[in-house]
Structure 1
């Protein structure tokens, strides 16, 4: 899990056709910038009316929900796992919001959750330093039993499963990265090389390398088998240096590029194409358009043309030429890496906490502290849909194929939807700071 927003224990002017329509903005603006009081009998503006187009909700956390992920075979089964400030995680049904399994045993907030590549196991990571594992016990995925507790790190920052096997990696605030073999829970390696919190990490799509980034500004490419560092870039490299360190990273589908986002708005493109032959990692691009001092919370490779099947395992894109970045400045930027420049951008009204690509399509969705989820088309930056229903910031988002089922008030949903033919093919799940996870259909 790489590049997601993580809690801790303590404008280049926009092109005219890329601006968000005024109807999408919540702030009331009058001539001269003076607010006009409403008469007592005047009807409220539409922007003052709470809107909720969710189709199901999960309420059991009751405190901030920090992370959410869908089962890798979603929508069959239609399951999500979420973790939160209640020191626990839940496996739950996205159709009706019903509880499936309560994943307990943590003594501090659960900030990372992850299904294994086959969906048979789920891992939870907490600020208590614990990584706990559960395994399904039936074909219907209705029963999950505790498997093992993995110790060693201090506060967990992220979790990442190997794309092809039962190997789990965790990044910690104590500068280390740990790797275990499941289901035995045997420790395989402890990676030491960073001097600050390990803020993000991913396996390359082929599973042969592990890439990690830290708030000390260093990027390391590891051999996961031996635990040896194969390449390293540090903030002493003037072309690479990112003020405040690294906050997010992505690896290209061809395993040749790593893109990292920084705590102060910078994005760097690094080639790791020849490290197996002993070559150093090389900085091949610097993308600077996000506002200075604003953290780049997510970076992801994206396809501008829809593509099907034979995509590399462990990726959501087939090509390595375009990238999306999202930051706390509210800006969402699509980059053309071949030309090293911005292709287009759009905005939320507050910090973007996460972006996720709809696999092998030009669509991607974003979550924001403006209480909304939004979906965009990377080719035009057209706003495809806005999902309302939260009363506080949205801290994470997951996307999956729409199962076509219609939910409404009678099944626990809030907003009834009765025409599945209008669906654009996806469901979204958002994790809310107010303690609820909401399910939406993209229409």
Structure 2
């Protein structure tokens, strides 16, 4: 979960809490089609001229709606991930299947620098809380940290295959979960390290709690652990029949630090009390009488409506849940799988990115789709929203990242 922009914690206290002992181990729409599938002009042509409009050529004539203000085209393959710097609300870092990450400007489109030297697809990126550093990590386990103002590499480390990466909300501390079940924490740029040892199964998802002192990690077997960042001790180990039956693929923490929300490939979401480790409730996100593959790909608590949570599934269902009553308040259906959702930080609105290439905004109070942003020719794999709420950046399988203004798209 992105840090609450209104958090007001003592930065020095947070740094003290997680002090690391370095002795520890390491486009307007165009309609050209008539009733019979050809334009009126084409129908009037003789047969010889009509045959030149085969299906492939006709497809080229279609103009797709593109609501983006800028298209970033430097990547040579699918773009997997994107993050916007909270400090400038303009700098973007994207990583892709071309084994490269780029830092660039959302407003001008200018590439600031290239994060090269990776050995595999770059699947995790992020800026430090103050925008001083940017991190890029690839599937092979290589992590690099870059000084943003100079574009120079200042630190690197190689470990097991990386599942997720997150910067601390108030300090130059980087946290990474890996496929061998270990969660790593480093001070940057010194590299002082602590590790949170798992139990041999992939640490597939993780989230720093808003208090800045604990980290929640979800594992391949469906279990969840809450770690103390100062002592590297496990505060809660949630497993057994009440927890997920398969991998935890997404996790979020409530702004008040008391609840954790997890989503799994078993098509359920769990609400867990962070202090006791008790499962408060289970949200069933499965489709009735459906044999389609399903999982909860994204989940989050609302910033502004403390009782609400949202889940998004591979079958395209966004569900708005009322946590105190444990009921489904609204269901919003998509035409493709939901890969990520984010709540607006100032209103009860939810943004979703979908495999159909569209980003949508929903009103959680009535389940209505308010706006859509189109432009991608393939699945959207990730997106981020600037801290000032004005810019949305997407990453897609169509080899591009796109910038959208968070205003009503042109109709």
Q: TM tier, shorter chain?
A: 0.7 to 0.9
State how far apart, in whole Å, the 2-side matches of 1:208 and 1:318 are.
23
Asked if residue 301 in structure 1 is aligned to residue 301 in structure 2, the reply is yes
Deviation at 1:154, TM superposition (A): 1.1
User: CA contact under 8 A between 2:72 and 2:402: conserved in structure 1?
Assistant: yes
State how far apart, in whole Å, the 2-side matches of 1:296 and 1:200 are.
12
User: CA contact under 8 A between 1:194 and 1:216: conserved in structure 2?
Assistant: no
User: CA contact under 8 A between 1:194 and 1:218: conserved in structure 2?
Assistant: no
User: CA contact under 8 A between 1:290 and 1:331: conserved in structure 2?
Assistant: no
The C-alpha deviation readout for 1:254-288, integer Å capped at 9, x for no partner, is 11101100112101110013xxxxxx410110111
1:223-242 correspondence to structure 2 within 5 Å:
223-234=228-239, 237-240=240-243, 242=244
State how far apart, in whole Å, the 1-side matches of 2:309 and 2:41 are.
47
User: CA contact under 8 A between 1:66 and 1:110: conserved in structure 2?
Assistant: yes
Which residue of structure 2 aligns with residue 11 of structure 1? none
Provide closer, same or farther for how the CA distance between residues 244 and 92 of structure 1 changes in structure 2, counting only shifts above 3 A. same
Q: The residue matched to 1:350 in structure 2 has which SS?
A: coil
Match among 206, 210, 214 for residue 205 of structure 1: 210
User: CA contact under 8 A between 1:57 and 1:96: conserved in structure 2?
Assistant: no
State how far apart, in whole Å, the 2-side matches of 1:333 and 1:42 are.
46
Q: The residue matched to 2:261 in structure 1 has which SS?
A: strand
State how far apart, in whole Å, the 2-side matches of 1:84 and 1:39 are.
39
Give the total of aligned pairs. Answer: 355
Deviation at 1:361, TM superposition (A): 2.0
Which residue of structure 2 aligns with residue 41 of structure 1? 40
State how far apart, in whole Å, the 2-side matches of 1:356 and 1:120 are.
25
User: CA contact under 8 A between 1:210 and 1:222: conserved in structure 2?
Assistant: yes
Deviation at 1:226, TM superposition (A): 1.5
Which residue of structure 1 aligns with residue 75 of structure 2? 61
The C-alpha deviation readout for 1:91-119, integer Å capped at 9, x for no partner, is 11111322111011111000000111111
Which residue of structure 2 aligns with residue 22 of structure 1? none
User: CA contact under 8 A between 2:304 and 2:348: conserved in structure 1?
Assistant: no
Asked if residue 186 in structure 1 is aligned to residue 200 in structure 2, the reply is no
Deviation at 1:326, TM superposition (A): 0.7
Deviation at 1:384, TM superposition (A): 1.8
Asked if residue 256 in structure 1 is aligned to residue 263 in structure 2, the reply is no
List gaps (5 residues or longer) in structure 1: 3-27, 29-35, 138-142, 274-279, 303-316, 403-424
The C-alpha deviation readout for 1:28-84, integer Å capped at 9, x for no partner, is 9xxxxxxx8524638999xx6521111101110121100001111243xx1111111
State how far apart, in whole Å, the 1-side matches of 2:110 and 2:154 are.
23
Provide closer, same or farther for how the CA distance between residues 377 and 194 of structure 1 changes in structure 2, counting only shifts above 3 A. farther
1:368-383 correspondence to structure 2 within 5 Å:
368-383=354-369
State how far apart, in whole Å, the 2-side matches of 1:427 and 1:164 are.
23
Asked if residue 394 in structure 1 is aligned to residue 380 in structure 2, the reply is yes
Q: TM-score, normalised by structure 1?
A: 0.76
Match among 82, 96, 100 for residue 94 of structure 2: 82
State how far apart, in whole Å, the 1-side matches of 2:38 and 2:167 are.
57
Q: The residue matched to 1:198 in structure 2 has which SS?
A: coil
RMSD of Structure 2 on Structure 1 (CA): 2.1
Deviation at 1:172, TM superposition (A): 0.6
User: CA contact under 8 A between 1:375 and 1:385: conserved in structure 2?
Assistant: yes
Which residue of structure 1 aligns with residue 162 of structure 2? 156
1:42-191 correspondence to structure 2 within 5 Å:
49-75=63-89, 78-137=90-149, 143-151=150-158, 153-187=159-193, 189-191=194-196
Provide closer, same or farther for how the CA distance between residues 365 and 319 of structure 1 changes in structure 2, counting only shifts above 3 A. closer
Deviation at 1:238, TM superposition (A): 1.9
Match among 344, 349, 356 for residue 342 of structure 2: 356
Provide closer, same or farther for how the CA distance between residues 182 and 39 of structure 1 changes in structure 2, counting only shifts above 3 A. closer
State how far apart, in whole Å, the 1-side matches of 2:264 and 2:41 are.
47
